[in-house]
Structure formats: C-alpha cells, structure tokens
Amino acid sequence: MTMDKNIGAEKAKLSELGRISDRITFLYIEHAKINRQDSAILVIDSQGTVAVPAAILSVLLLGPGVDVTHRAMELIGNSGLAVVWVGEHGVRHYAHGRALNHSSLLLEKQAKLVSNVRSRLAVARRMYQYRFPHEDVSRLTMQELRGKEGARVRKIYREQSRKNKVPWSRREYDPNDFEVGTPINKALTSAHQALYGLSYSVIVALGVSPGLGFIHTGHDLSFVYDFADLYKAEYSIPIAFEVTAQCTDEATISRQTRLAMRDAFRDGKLLKRMVHDLKDLLGVTLEAEEVDAETLSLWDDKLGMQKMGVQYHESTEKT
C-alpha cells in the first residue's frame, strides 16, 4: 500500500508557529469527535462542526466521550499544542502531549536550581515574594513562609465570602466524587483546574518539567501547583466566588466556572505574564525564539558544548 504524500497541509516550521504568549489559553472538549482539515482541528458533536486553527491554541483539555483521529493528533503534535486528557469536570489528569519548545535550556536551568538547597530556597522565596510585593521575605524560613501564605489565603477566602455573600467555612473536596462538594467548593475545584491547565501549557511549552517543583514535591505536577499558586488569589478564587453567587443551577456550576475562567484569560495578558514570570523565576532572560531548537550538542566536562554530527578521533591527551 502506498501513501499519498500530498494529504493535508505541509508541516509548519518551528519559526512559523505562534509564540505561546500569543495563543488562546485553553479549549475544553467533551462528548465530541476531533478530526483534521488542513491546519485546523474539526470538533464535531451533536450541535454541528467547528474548525479551530491548531496553532492559536495553548492547550486542549479533552474530557469524557472524546474520540481523536490519528490525523488530528499529527496536526496537534506538529503545532506544539499541548494536550491534556482529563476526567469529568476536569478534576483528574490522565495524560499529556508534546511541548512546543524543543530546547532544553530552561529545563537544564530548572534542574540545576532545584538540585541545590540554597538555589531551591531562593526560587521558593521568590515565589512567595510575588505574593507579598510590599514585604521583604528573603530571610524567612519555609515554615514561616507557609504560615504567612496560609494566613493570606484564609483572609482572601473570608473577603470574597463577604463581598459575594457566599457562605464559607473551609476548603474541602473529594477528588473521587466531585458532586459531594458544596457549590463554592465545586466552583473552586473547576476554577483551579482551569488555572492548572493554563499553567501546565506554559510550563511544557517552554520545555520546563512539570514535576520539578520548588515548594511542592513528590508529584509529576509539583511545579504546576507551584506556578498556579501565584495566580489563584487574582483569578480562580474570586471567579469561583462570583460564579457561585450568580449561579441558579448547581448542576451547571462547573461549566459556568470554566467559561468565566476562559473569559478572564481571553485577553492573553495572563499568558504573557506567565511566560515572563517563569523565566524570571528561573533567572533566564533569553527569549525562547532566540534558541535554535533544532541544535543538538554533545556535553564535555572540560570543553563545554561540542558539535553533534562530527567524526571525533581518539585523543592522545594524557589525563
């Protein structure tokens, strides 16, 4: 059997793909079929068909009842579109796809920082400094920082409860049973999951490891939780309370929350801010576009980076 080489659009070059900071945040799909038409993914469900250019999306959240064709996944992979397979309401994370950035620059920087106690503590303090911009937290211990952050979050919950007239006692949810939660806890779970999805898309698009956290540890999404926590007070927490206050049908609170989060992300300012913040946290100022992602080098403990694809001869140098 022969294959027609002219089927579909030609694979885009990395330089032609949209920057992660310029893309739309996320698209959640459930109970639909995903196919491909040229450079767009086709979302087909009972209401009709919608074509979405793959290169303008950051992450696809695929919920229950989604069938994806091989041709659609080919386009998604070539476009650097992150794919996350999630459970109902986006509560569980099952798998994910390939990153946009093929350079290991940021990943190597992250691994170096997290592997040293002093540099890891410095990055963790910087993360807390983002949350306390008017205070100096550079000398606080991790225990002191956790206590300070806990007090800050509890205060935010109380303020949002009073502002939106939504009863609040504490944050509680069952990851195995979304429906047993109170309306506000359901909304918070959905809002946080949308924020995690966006955080994840930025992290992997820039070639950073989701699992190498500086504050959280021991989970394959530790850094996602680190990173998303920087923005909860500004996005997911207030939006969850606002949606709960306005919601008249608890059965739709998850969907309404996701839509509200999407609207908050729509202008793209958070995406650009996340890209900047992530590079700042890792101490990298080089633009990802300046890195030749197709360059593969050889490591040498004395000579530094060496060219790949060169026929090296045995050295006579005595060691």
Residue 220 has a pLDDT of 87
Asked, for residue 214, whether it belongs to a domain, the answer is yes
CA distance 281 to 300: 27
**212: DSSP letter:** -
CA distance 127 to 230: 7
* Tens-digit pLDDT profile for residues 80-103: 677 788 777 666 666 666 555 667
- Ramachandran angles phi, psi of 172, nearest 5°: -150, 140
Residue 293 has a pLDDT of 44
Residue 181 has a pLDDT of 83
180 lies in the same domain as 270: yes
- Pick out the chain residues at pLDDT < 70: 1-25, 80, 89-102, 268, 286-319
- Secondary structure (DSSP) of 236-269: HHHHHHHHHHH-S-GGGHHHHHHHHHHHHHTTSH
CA distance 95 to 194: 16
Q: Which amino acid appears at position 146 of this protein?
A: R
Q: Which residues are annotated as a binding site?
A: 149, 216, 229
Asked, for residue 307, whether it belongs to a domain, the answer is no
Token representation of residue 194 = 């949308």
pTM of the model: 0.67
Residue 56 has a pLDDT of 74
Residue 292 has a pLDDT of 44
Strands, E assignment, the chain = 24-29, 32-37, 40-45, 48-53, 57-62, 66-68, 82-86, 93-96, 297-298, 306-307
84 lies in the same domain as 127: no
88 lies in the same domain as 154: no
Which residue among 40, 62, 96 closes a domain? 96
What is the domain range of residue 277?
105-286
Which residue among 63, 96, 129 closes a domain? 96
Q: Which residues are annotated as a binding site for Mn(2+)?
A: 149, 216, 229
Domains in the chain: how many in total? 2
